[in-house]
Structure 1
Amino acid sequence: MSVEKARLVEEAQRTGTLANLPRGHFISSHFVPSVSGREMESFDPGRGAAFASFAAGDGEDVDRAVAAARAALAGPWSRLSPAARGEILMRASRLIAERAARFAVVETLDSGKRLAEAEGDVAGVVRAFAYYAGAADKLHGDNVPLGSDHVGVTFEEPVGVAAQIVPWNYPLSTAARGIAPALAAGCTLVVKPAEQTPFTTLMLAELLHEAGLPEGVLNVVVGTGGDAGAALVAHPGIDHVTFTGSVATGQRVMRSAAEHVTRLVLELGGKSPVVLLADCDLDAATEGVIEAIFENAGQICSAGSRLIVEEAIAEQLLDRLVARAQALRPSHGLSDAGIGPINSPAQLARVAAHVERARAAGNRILTGGAIVPPEACGGGWFYQPTIVQAQGPDDPLVQEEIFGPVLTVQIVSDFEEAVAAANATRYALVAGIYTRDHARAWRFARTVDAGQVYINEFFAGGVAMPFGGNRKSGFGRAKGMAGLRSYCKLKSVVARI
């Protein structure tokens, strides 16, 4: 453990917080209080206690932020070359790497996730800014052959002012994967982090200003979804919205954006299948399944929350998974052991309600299935790592996103039944398969409806691979060059010569 990381962990464990956390909105490159003067608290899920307060924004604060972003869109930022934008992003990447320990500890306090997971997120953010720094001057249109009398070209232009609605489960990662490509494309931004997890997004905005962003290019408004998020999505000064969250909220975002015909990228829910065929490497598959569902206590839209396993290996595999799940102990994220907490009491209650309905319907609880008493885990909000064998494909346990450390098991007889089961929900975000038969693996990849498919690994690919879903999992793509083009509008020009 580095000296700085050890110092920050000690401070957080001793005091329950960290000094000098940002409290205001970040507008026109300055931290400012809400127009209303209101504040709200942020809670440490590992202790179940407030550790800091921050500004509670509303429509007036959104108006200020959008005005700043629109002014910056017409200012010096619009005259910077793509290479110069890339240089700013690369400086930001280096600064994030230098301050990685503080970002990780703050992320753990705010979201609850294990410190090692937060450190992985920060490393991904460093990589994301470096990736888009390199891509900024490689975004170009095409020369279209129209014959000897005409020249046809296309241009990729910044879409304008982009709004980002960031979720609470991966606050820093999700903010970065939208901010970095939007800046590389030449957009300006207004970002609204989740009210449960505002701090690392505010820290990132301040750091980007230090890296050289002109005034007003990146603005952050903090507050609830109802007060600040809804006002941002509905604002006529917004040209594009990237939203990550639930299906129900995404539908409301679509309806609101339709009023001004605002462009959208939606990354919504998932109920992602992990298929294990009888010929798989059982050791690798077991570890992959455990990581796919219990990382971040299962609070991942792309979590491998449905295990679809061939009958021939089901008993042996489930014995292994139950033993591994029972060995995971609830622990504060800063201890970096076991499994971390659920982000909020409301989410904890939702997870518990899903499992209780499954129990009442006759589904077989193989392990877990209960809230951890607060006195047994330092007062935090924890749910036992849970594995449930589903009765049938139509059970809500199979069809509904739980967003917690709950693995649903479906046992199938062969490959064809596994593919049918994988496609049998309204979601289509990611899917995974473990098998030694690469022909069947690639057949699965072609047949399954998912935005991203993993073969013999889960959560693979990084920032270079486009990410997003189909059907009720949303549309549009983040990451990769596809994510960069999400923040562009295509212009065609034809000249007669």
Structure 2
Amino acid sequence: MDSFDPGRGRAFARFAAGDGADVDAAVAAARTALRGPWRQMGPAERGRILAKAAAMLRERAARFAVVESLDSGKRLSEAEGDLRGVARAFEYYAGAADKLHGEGLPLGRLYVGFTSQEPVGVVAQIIPWNYPLSTAARGIAPALAAGCTVVAKPAEQTPFTALMLAELLHEAGLPAGVLNVVTGTGAEAGAPLVAHPDIDHITFTGSVATGSAVMRSAADNVTRLVLELGGKSPLVVLADCDMNAALNGVVEAIYENAGQICSAGSRLVLDRSIADVFLGRLVAWVEKFRIGHGLTNPDLGPVNSRRQLDIIDAHVRRAVKAGNHVLTGGAIATSDAGGWFYQPTIISAQSAADPLVQEEIFGPVLVVQIVDGPDEALTAANATSYALVAGIYSQNITEALRFARDVDAGQVFINEWFAGGIEVPFGGNRKSGFGREKGMAGLRSYCKMKSVVARI
């Protein structure tokens, strides 16, 4: 299959189009490895392999970042930041591998009771195209730390860094069969993987529609799931905010990776008393953006595919037809590099019920909702079917913490969007999915608990 450079809109490399037979072979290899030397390896030794991989990733970060930028379209500086996060993820779970333990149970003098945490088994990882290496790492690293074996299916748009990561991990000492990567389409490789009876757990990141299909497929084998499905995340800016910090936060929240982030701050919920000044400054900033190929480190890079570009454009066209007001942008952009670009866009929504507010666009499109005060802001924040991330800018910490308490979201940012790191559990509620990745919660996602009781 061809892999395309989104910045030029042209194929730049080819990769294997895997199918059900390849999935069968990969799952069989993972099942065999689960019973082999990997099972006998102590947690500290697993940690040493992950630590070595972290060091190797830092040494080879430049190469990985260039490939990630070429394959996904993201700016090189963003890809370099992703690599730092990926290395840190392996470092974190290297340290956690020998800290995973059960608990003693207080059953009285006649009994000894305890729990243990065991690897869940063979794990399937379905990796999206927007953060190919980061998402792969946040699933693969804890799964390996827990003692699982893995079959990973990267998106057909962005296969290469997952293949490079598998090569690096085996070079770091991972036994054969412990990590397997099958490239190909969702229909030909992904569907057989999530339906495979020898898969013990699935971690899926992607759309609600595909996640629902994965759930139905997993149900036939009663396979465990972690689903991270997307969002329409509110970024609340109250009247007492630090305006410079809030402006920086809004720009980063929606325009990083051309808005192709499940946790993007795609809804600006803005207090009416500062709306004119805030939006004036925001529009002036965005209209100066330089658009270009990811390797040139522009202000805004391309979207991942022609298909995604058309989806974004269709969303905006419908919004304009419905009477929503475009403050800036609102059209497909051109670049000297060619490729698939969309103008950085800001649209003021007329109604909270509009699809513009309710549906995930997954592009560089910021939707503005004007509110009067904190209570209306909270109501607006909770008024979609998604509940992945929320954020607030306010210098009143009590007001901010009340918002964090009352908003429905898996993660809340206060005065900095994308705050935190691998240590912070991540995942959503409602249509944003369920289960958690990252942090120690992410490690426990790849474990099954066993209780043991002995009469003495």
Between the aligned partners of 1:187 and 1:110, the Cα distance in structure 2 is 28
Which of 72, 81, 105 is 2:66 aligned to? 105
- Counterpart residue number, 1:12: none
What's the CA shift for 1:483? 0.1
- Note the 1:127-142 alignment, pairs <5 A: 127-142=88-103
What's the CA shift for 1:269? 1.3
Between the aligned partners of 1:237 and 1:130, the Cα distance in structure 2 is 29
Q: Does 1:346 align with 2:307?
A: yes
- Counterpart residue number, 1:496: 455
Which of 387, 404, 420 is 2:363 aligned to? 404
What's the CA shift for 1:329? 1.8
Tell me how many residue pairs correspond in the alignment.
456
- Note the 1:51-450 alignment, pairs <5 A: 51-373=12-334, 376-450=335-409
Between the aligned partners of 1:175 and 1:227, the Cα distance in structure 2 is 20
Secondary structure in 2 aligned to 1:236?
coil
Between the aligned partners of 2:339 and 2:84, the Cα distance in structure 1 is 27
Q: Does 1:486 align with 2:451?
A: no
Amino acid at match of 1:340: G
Higher mean C-alpha deviation, range 324-333 or range 480-489: 324-333
Between the aligned partners of 1:323 and 1:146, the Cα distance in structure 2 is 66
What's the CA shift for 1:325? 1.0
Q: Give per-residue Cα distances to partners, 1:65-88, cap 9 Å, x unaligned.
A: 000000000000000000000000
Between the aligned partners of 1:200 and 1:70, the Cα distance in structure 2 is 24
Between the aligned partners of 1:338 and 1:128, the Cα distance in structure 2 is 27
Amino acid at match of 1:64: A
What's the CA shift for 1:377? 3.3
What's the CA shift for 1:259? 0.4
Between the aligned partners of 2:249 and 2:371, the Cα distance in structure 1 is 19
Between the aligned partners of 1:114 and 1:172, the Cα distance in structure 2 is 14
Q: Give per-residue Cα distances to partners, 1:238-260, cap 9 Å, x unaligned.
A: 00000000000000000000000
Percent identical residues: 73
Between the aligned partners of 1:382 and 1:225, the Cα distance in structure 2 is 25
Checking the alignment, whether the CA contact within 8 Å between 1:104 and 1:118 is kept in structure 2 is: yes
Amino acid at match of 2:418: F
Q: TM-score, normalised by structure 1?
A: 0.91
Amino acid at match of 2:263: S
- Runs of 5+ unmatched residues, structure 1: 1-39
Amino acid at match of 2:330: G
Checking the alignment, whether the CA contact within 8 Å between 1:330 and 1:377 is kept in structure 2 is: no
Between the aligned partners of 2:17 and 2:298, the Cα distance in structure 1 is 33
Between the aligned partners of 1:139 and 1:467, the Cα distance in structure 2 is 19
- Runs of 5+ unmatched residues, structure 2: none
Secondary structure in 1 aligned to 2:398?
helix
Q: Does 1:451 align with 2:410?
A: yes
Amino acid at match of 1:115: L
- Counterpart residue number, 1:23: none
What's the CA shift for 1:378? 1.7
Between the aligned partners of 1:246 and 1:47, the Cα distance in structure 2 is 26
What's the CA shift for 1:338? 1.7
Between the aligned partners of 1:82 and 1:206, the Cα distance in structure 2 is 21
Amino acid at match of 2:292: S
What's the CA shift for 1:446? 0.3
What's the RMSD between the two structures over aligned residues?
0.5
Q: TM-score, normalised by structure 2?
A: 1.00
Between the aligned partners of 2:281 and 2:361, the Cα distance in structure 1 is 23
